[in-house]
């Protein structure tokens, strides 16, 4: 057990933990997207509400949800530790702290994109998850539609999805480096698989607010 913690605290261990939690969170995105695309079925919100009730009421899903939040927490805490470790390491090499010399652009951009994704997540959970789990909201499809009839929310989601795409793209690149998968033989295949996560998934997510906004959402759900 002791050697496990020693490994997790090493810089390779931290990178591995970051990559594994990041991959798990990316898999969550596939499931989440598949469920949310149901909102686009033109059945007055019936399929989406059935899915949302299942997610809220099923004990296995609720347990997995706790696991999901734990993974998010580990990913964030570990990310902050790596960022801090890099900052300290560079600080040693330079006597005077200068932002442009002491942190590389990609690592600064990763920290910035991570903070923006976190901000998105806080707003997103307050908007949808809290009403579904704690406020007894029954018409989740209606809530999605009323939210995305507001152009500011649509803009916020679109910007957040571009930032998420950026974060995933660089996250995948560094995860593949950590796993040693960036060999010439597999490089093309790996780039292709990564593009599914950083490009296709955010684009499909973006279709939801855009579709609701542009069509008014009447066919998507019956409003309260």
208 contributes a contact to ligand HEM by CB under 6 A: yes
Whole-Å CA distances, 112 to 135, 166, 209? 32, 11, 24
Listed residue (168, 181, 150, 220) closest to 29, CA to CA: 168
How many CA atoms lie within 13 Å of 92's alpha carbon, on the beta-carbon side? 5
- Name the CA radius of gyration of the chain, rounded: 20
From start to end of the chain, where are the E strands? none
Rounded Cα–Cα distance for residues 64 and 62 (Å): 5
Among 17, 55, 220, 221, binds ligand HEM (CB under 6 A): 55
Pattern 108-127, ligand HEM, x by CB under 6 A:
---------x---x--xx--
172 contributes a contact to ligand HEM by CB under 6 A: no
197 contributes a contact to ligand HEM by CB under 6 A: no
18 contributes a contact to ligand HEM by CB under 6 A: no
Among 132, 162, 195, 210, binds ligand HEM (CB under 6 A): 132
How many residues does the structure list for the chain?
A: 224
Among 14, 22, 157, 171, binds ligand HEM (CB under 6 A): 157
- Catalog residues that contact ligand HEM under the rule CB under 6 A: 32, 36, 52, 55-56, 65, 68, 117, 121, 124-125, 128-129, 132, 140, 144, 157, 164, 205, 208-209
């Amino acid at each position: 057990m002791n050697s496990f913690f020693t490994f997790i605290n090493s810089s390779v261990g931290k990178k591995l933990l970051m990559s594994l939690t990041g991959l798990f969170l990316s898999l969550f995105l596939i499931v989440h997207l598949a469920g949310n695309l149901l909102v686009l079925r033109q059945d007055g919100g019936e399929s989406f509400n059935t899915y949302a009730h299942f997610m809220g009421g099923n004990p296995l899903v609720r347990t997995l949800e706790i696991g999901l939040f734990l993974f998010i927490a580990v990913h964030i805490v570990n990310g902050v530790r790596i960022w801090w470790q890099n900052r300290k390491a560079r600080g040693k090499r330079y006597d005077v702290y200068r932002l442009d010399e002491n942190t590389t652009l990609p690592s600064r951009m990763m920290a910035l994109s991570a903070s923006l994704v976190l901000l998105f997540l806080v707003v997103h959970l307050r908007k949808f998850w809290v009403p579904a789990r704690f406020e007894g909201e029954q018409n989740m499809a209606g809530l999605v539609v009323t939210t995305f009839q507001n152009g500011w929310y649509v803009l916020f989601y679109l910007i957040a999805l571009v930032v998420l795409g950026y974060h995933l793209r660089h996250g995948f690149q560094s995860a593949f480096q950590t796993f040693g998968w960036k060999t010439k033989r597999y490089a093309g295949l790996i780039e292709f698989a990564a593009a599914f996560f950083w490009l296709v998934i955010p684009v499909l997510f973006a279709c939801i607010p855009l579709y609701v906004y542009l069509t008014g959402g009447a066919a998507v759900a019956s409003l309260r």
